[in-house]
């Protein structure tokens, strides 16, 4: 399958049309941004890590009953995916307090939450991706109740599957952000990516951060952390 026209360029990926109207090619970039694009940089090799890590995790999820956009990894940076229209929500699942939750509610980072937390943010850069709830989502017509129930159920199942899978690789899944899309027939499937850009991964033993927080917070060793995740999950 060959790329035809570029459909979209985001902060971390480009999306191309193909000769098949139901398929797209995603191309992962090394560009990194944080704080809604205010901080910009490059993480050498990030695109290749995120491509293979995301595909590896989506393959595992697919085998366990989660429908995903993954069709075929084409090369180290590019993947053939099902074409979807993205539901403009960032779905965040949190097992351990960190990041914006710690800030908002005054919880120390690393504190285990008594209950898994699900949050929705409305994907709109101009508004700074504001936190919304089920009522806002219905009021704005972002998704209907049935779609949202499907999204929430998949999100919790993904949490169980991913947490267990990563635990075996010595990685604690602190929190993550996922996105869903609608295929041409309206089916909800997991889209976008699952990578060190979109998850907090801490080493189970030492608590060392192995994700994009190293870039966001200028902690150094960013490339090594991404590489470590690739090695632990894919063994290369």
Nearer to ligand TMP, 32 or 48 (CB): 32
Backbone angles phi, psi at 104, to 5 degrees: -65, -40
Structure tokens belonging to residue 180: 């869903």
Output 108 or 235, the one with its CB closest to ligand TMP.
108
Indicate whether 100 belongs to the interface with ligand TMP (CB under 6 A): yes
Q: Residues 176 to 195: which contact ligand TMP by CB under 6 A?
A: 176-177
Q: Does 58 bind ligand TMP (CB under 6 A)?
A: no
- In order, the DSSP letters of 83-125 are --EEPSEEEEEEEE--HHHHHHHTPPTTPEEEEEEEEEEE--G
Q: Is 200 in the site for ligand TMP (CB under 6 A)?
A: yes
For position 50 contacting ligand TMP by CB under 6 A, the verdict is: no
CA 175 to CA 32: how far, in whole Å? 19
Q: Which of 175, 181, 202, 227 binds ligand TMP (CB under 6 A)?
A: 175
Report the alpha-carbon distance of residue 19 to residue 3 in Å, rounded.
Answer: 7
Q: Which of 199, 222, 225, 229 binds ligand TMP (CB under 6 A)?
A: 199
Are 32 and 43 within 8 A, CB to CB?
yes
Residue at shortest CB range from ligand TMP:
99
Which residues lie near ligand TMP (CB under 6 A)? 92, 98-101, 175-177, 198-200
């Amino acid at each position: 399958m060959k790329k035809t026209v570029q459909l979209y360029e985001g902060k971390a990926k480009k999306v191309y049309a193909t000769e098949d109207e139901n398929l797209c090619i995603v191309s992962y970039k090394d560009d990194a941004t944080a704080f809604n694009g205010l901080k910009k940089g490059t993480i050498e090799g990030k695109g290749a890590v995120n491509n293979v890590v995301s595909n590896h995790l989506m393959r595992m999820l697919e085998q366990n009953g989660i429908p995903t956009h993954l069709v075929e990894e084409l090369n180290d940076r590019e993947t053939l995916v099902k074409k979807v229209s993205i539901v403009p929500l960032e779905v965040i699942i949190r097992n351990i307090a960190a990041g914006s939750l710690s800030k908002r509610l005054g919880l120390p980072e690393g504190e285990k939450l008594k209950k898994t937390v699900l949050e929705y943010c409305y994907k709109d850069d101009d508004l700074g991706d504001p936190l919304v709830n089920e009522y806002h989502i219905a009021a704005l017509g972002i998704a209907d109740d049935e779609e949202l129930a499907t999204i929430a159920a998949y999100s919790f199942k993904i949490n169980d599957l991913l947490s267990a899978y990563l635990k075996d690789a010595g990685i604690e899944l602190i929190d993550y952000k996922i996105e869903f899309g609608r295929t041409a027939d309206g089916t909800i499937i997991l889209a976008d990516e699952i990578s060190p850009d979109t998850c907090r991964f801490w080493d189970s033993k030492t608590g060392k951060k192995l994700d994009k927080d190293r870039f966001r917070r200028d902690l150094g060793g960013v490339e090594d952390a991404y590489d470590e995740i690739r090695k632990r999950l894919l063994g290369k």
